[in-house]
A = this chain, B = another copy of it.
Amino acid sequence: MPDYKVPIRDMKFAIYDVLDYPAHYASLPGCEDATPDTIDAILPEAARFAEEVAAPLYASGDREGAQWNDGKVSTPSGFKAAYLQFCEDGWASLHHPPELGGMGLPYSLANVCSEMYLSANHAWAMYVALSWGAATTINAHGTEEIKQKFMPMLASGQWCGTMCLTEAHCGSDLGLLRTLATPTNQGSYLINGSKMFISAGDHDLTDNIVHIVLARLPDAPDGVKGISLFVVPKMKVNENGSVGEPNGVSCGSIEHKMGIHGNATCVINFDDAEGWLLGRPHKGMSGMFTFINESRLGVALQALSHIEGSLQTAYHYAMDRIQMRAPERHSPDRPADPIIAHPDVRRMLLTQKAFSEGGRLLTYYCSMLVDIELMSEEQAVRTEAETLLAFLTPVTKAFLSEVAIESTGLGIQVLGGHGYVSEWGQEQHARDARITALYEGTTGIQGLDLLGRKILGTGGAVIEPFVKMVRTFCGENAGSMWADKTESALNEWLKLTEQTIKSSMEDPDQINAAAVDYLMYTGYVVMAWCWAYAAISAERGLNEAHNEKDGDFYRAKLSTARFYFERLYPRTQSLAVTIGSGPGNLTELPEAHFII
């Protein structure tokens, strides 16, 4: 299996050429330290950790898997040592507030590092990602006392965290959840209930695990309006901050699953476990959405990271493997040509490349918006970023996870039978990537969130900042064929959006019937903007390129942009037809007659 190499050149293209992180950081209070020097110092160091420490445990972690014995979970060999080194090197605290033990770097920069860890070893990196999410939630909603109790330990990585939402009878529909929180007279709550599908729910990496738990107070209203948010450590915390007695939190079992074997997916039982309320009673869902939204962007990053990993292996294989002749002979002195000479193999590699590099721009852009949401002092700027994120989060999560399934599948296909055997790691990318379309809300749920809750729920207003931003981009680049393509994509999509709003209001079944195809269509439009942005940046880069290698890089961008618009964007045409076909072809068959 070829070694994963962090695509630093392309990351820098996104950060410097396209999105201009330095200007963005300069405009945000608290981001002053994230200078180009800092960025250029951090990236290779994070890359070294990803390549040399996390990546070598990718295949072995899959083979060995997390193990559950007598209520205790052990992570695969090497995971704990890698985690301890990660913390020791200071990576655990990258974007947590300095006053709570973190390094205070922007979220977006931590995100770039995350991509590296995820490409190197998704299952391992999830332990870190869940901790970051838990810390973000505590930081956003905890009292000062709670923050002081948990944040330094999370920021240093000495403790890990999780999010506990799902119960056996409710995944997408959290309104049905039953876990109960009974107030004590010390200001805390006793949590009772059972959660399932808890990623990184238990393990041997740290002495304590801080669970963020959704539960109901005894007087809670039914449904989602009666859910509160709690922080519940696995082990009690002594006055001096040290780890105390067990806190009634246990791991009942772990799942045997398709992939991410190295990360324990747990049933977590709470039996009179002591917890503390985060935020206001019954307002847990809105509190949880801080976590959920960041997690969704994190999942998008996972999806992208697998596309990148799968592309790297497929590309090296395609350069080495000789098989059959291409019309243009590449290796007349050898018995056959390297398979990269065959246009169909290039089609597969370019699909991976377009989604990986385009997905990188999109996720990096979204994480800039998170920076703004967290740090900007201007309310209007924050609000605009929030609205952009409200729109882009479901699209980015679901679109990238769906195209990651496709792209990692192509990564297998390039290798033929060798893609199916474990040795090359391609089938692991496909198995690991598969989860991204499921957890943190399936693609169907993201579609409903986008079309139902966001677009119809705001009468279409949620798309306005995106439309404005793209129109500005097209205006600033008037005359460019890339801007023209983007503008016509935007206009077609706006027409479709209008029609879909209208038909959804006439027949509410259309919302659910159109949701996924509409989301995918939207994804291709957003990706069109990303590739136009990349192409125009590459044209500028090409004019300024100082050496042949830079020129090659920018020309490759332009070829990939062309490929995107000619081979991937046209998928919107079929999607427009199916969206327009209405819900009748889905609803007319009585449910009892699907199988007779």
- State the A residues within 8 Å of B (CB): 7, 9, 166, 169-173, 176, 197, 255-259, 265, 311-312, 315, 319, 322-324, 326-328, 330, 335-336, 338, 340-347, 349-350, 353, 405, 409, 412-413, 416-417, 419-423, 427, 430-431, 434-435, 437-439, 442-444, 447-448, 508-509, 511-513, 515-516, 549, 552-553, 555-556, 559-560, 562-563, 566-567, 570-574, 577-578, 581, 583, 585-596
Q: Are B413 and A442 in contact (CB under 8 A)?
A: yes
Residue from B322, B349, B567 in contact with A578 in the complex, judged by beta carbons closer than 8 Å: B567
17 contacts between A and B (CB under 8 A): A170-B323, A172-B324, A256-B421, A258-B422, A258-B427, A259-B420, A315-B594, A342-B512, A344-B515, A346-B587, A347-B516, A412-B438, A552-B592, A559-B589, A566-B578, A570-B574, A574-B574
Q: Are A344 and B566 in contact (CB under 8 A)?
A: no
CA distance A136 to B98 in the complex (A): 73
A342 → chain B, closest Cβ, in Å?
5
CA distance A97 to B104 in the complex (A): 78
Q: Are B509 and A328 in contact (CB under 8 A)?
A: yes
B-side contacts of A338, CB under 8 Å: 591
Q: Which residue of B lies closest to A508 (CB)?
A: B327
CA distance A405 to B408 in the complex (A): 12
A459 → chain B, closest Cβ, in Å?
19
B-side contacts of A350, CB under 8 Å: 585-586, 589, 594
Residue from B176, B417, B562 in contact with A438 in the complex, judged by beta carbons closer than 8 Å: B417
Contact A509:B327 (CB < 8 A) given known A7-B595, A447-B344, A591-B340: yes
CA distance A347 to B447 in the complex (A): 13
Q: Are B255 and A421 in contact (CB under 8 A)?
A: yes
Q: Which residue of B lies closest to A350 (CB)?
A: B586
Residue from B169, B416, B587 in contact with A171 in the complex, judged by beta carbons closer than 8 Å: B416
Residue from B257, B315, B571, B595 in contact with A420 in the complex, judged by beta carbons closer than 8 Å: B257
Copies of this chain per assembly: 2
CA distance A447 to B570 in the complex (A): 21
B-side contacts of A566, CB under 8 Å: 578, 581, 585
Q: Are A417 and B434 in contact (CB under 8 A)?
A: no
4 pairs of A and B residues whose beta carbons are closest in the complex:
A258-B427, A327-B508, A343-B513, A570-B577
Contact A563:B585 (CB < 8 A) given known A171-B417, A595-B7: yes
CA distance A280 to B557 in the complex (A): 53
A179 → chain B, closest Cβ, in Å?
16
Prevailing SS type, chain A contact patch:
helix
A262 → chain B, closest Cβ, in Å?
15
A94 → chain B, closest Cβ, in Å?
27
A34 → chain B, closest Cβ, in Å?
26
Q: Are B422 and A438 in contact (CB under 8 A)?
A: no
A35 → chain B, closest Cβ, in Å?
26
A194 → chain B, closest Cβ, in Å?
15
Q: Are B420 and A435 in contact (CB under 8 A)?
A: yes
Q: Are B589 and A413 in contact (CB under 8 A)?
A: no
Q: Which residue of B lies closest to A415 (CB)?
A: B438
A219 → chain B, closest Cβ, in Å?
19
B-side contacts of A559, CB under 8 Å: 585, 588-589
B-side contacts of A336, CB under 8 Å: 173, 176
Q: Are A589 and B574 in contact (CB under 8 A)?
A: no
Q: Are A442 and B420 in contact (CB under 8 A)?
A: no
Pick from A447, A448, A549, A595 the residue with the most CB of B within 10 Å: A595
B-side contacts of A596, CB under 8 Å: 9, 549, 552-553, 556
B-side contacts of A328, CB under 8 Å: 509, 587
Q: Are A593 and B346 in contact (CB under 8 A)?
A: no
CA distance A512 to B344 in the complex (A): 6
CA distance A423 to B583 in the complex (A): 32
Q: Are B593 and A444 in contact (CB under 8 A)?
A: no
Q: Which residue of B lies closest to A265 (CB)?
A: B421
Q: Are B413 and A438 in contact (CB under 8 A)?
A: yes
CA distance A256 to B444 in the complex (A): 33
Q: Which residue of B lies closest to A419 (CB)?
A: B438
Q: Are B585 and A567 in contact (CB under 8 A)?
A: yes
CA distance A338 to B590 in the complex (A): 13
Q: Which residue of B lies closest to A348 (CB)?
A: B444
A520 → chain B, closest Cβ, in Å?
12
A323 → chain B, closest Cβ, in Å?
4
CA distance A439 to B169 in the complex (A): 40
A355 → chain B, closest Cβ, in Å?
14
CA distance A409 to B434 in the complex (A): 9
Q: With A7-B595, A326-B509, A405-B409 given, name 17 new contacts (CB 8 A).
A: A169-B322, A197-B417, A255-B421, A256-B423, A258-B412, A312-B595, A328-B587, A340-B594, A344-B444, A344-B586, A353-B594, A416-B438, A416-B442, A556-B596, A559-B589, A570-B574, A570-B581
